A = this chain, B = another copy of it.
Amino acid sequence: MIPPLQQLIERLKALPGIGQKSAERVAFYLLNASQAEVEQLADAVHRIKSDVHRCRRCFNFATDDLCPLCRNPKRDQDVLCVVAQPWEILKIEKTGEFHGLYHVLGGLVSPMDDVSASDLTIDALVGRVQAESVQEVILALEPRLEGDLTGMQIAGRLGPLGVKVTQIAQGVPVGRDLEFADEATLGRALRGRTPVS
């Protein structure tokens, strides 16, 4: 196989969810695509690194100093939703249930991976709560050990500031049969039971 084709297939295979067959299919597609389409793809890949930075305030992806959410004056300024990674913001936005601002930690506390609270943007979160008119901080972290550890560290730091700290409900997923829920999920769902009337 000629080197440019071999190299493109190798680069594509390094991407998540793309195997040998998919990489070959995409490479052959690009070989036959128009010059314009190929250049637009190469340019879009290039610009994802050169044009995207982190928001100075919330650490979401941004092309300017502030991300579009932080720049939007219509967002509730008094409630912050804390997430581990920027892409989790998209998921929460799609629910249409949250209208406040975000704070991206950049990861979760993980003794296994040697990630401690000081590696995350928790200091910046404390700073925001002190400087901005924040009434509530909602923790939207994964319901596993790392999420719980991180949540506890944040609650410990924010508690003395008198701000309300909540976490998203943990329970059985909507639309799934109860028999497929694991014990830990079912246990949390029971402890977090809510009145029905």
Residues of A within 8 A of B (CB): 1-5, 7-8, 10-12, 14-18, 22, 24-31, 33, 35, 37-49, 51-52, 61-63, 67-68, 85-87, 90
What's the number of copies of this chain in the assembled complex?
A: 2
Chain B positions within 8 Å of A41 at CB level = 11-12, 14-15, 45
A52 touches B2 (CB 8 A): yes
Chain A interface helix/strand/loop/mixed: helix
A63 touches B2 (CB 8 A): yes
A52 touches B5 (CB 8 A): yes
B8 touches A37 (CB 8 A): no
Nearest CB in chain B: distance from A59 CB, A: 13
A31 touches B61 (CB 8 A): yes
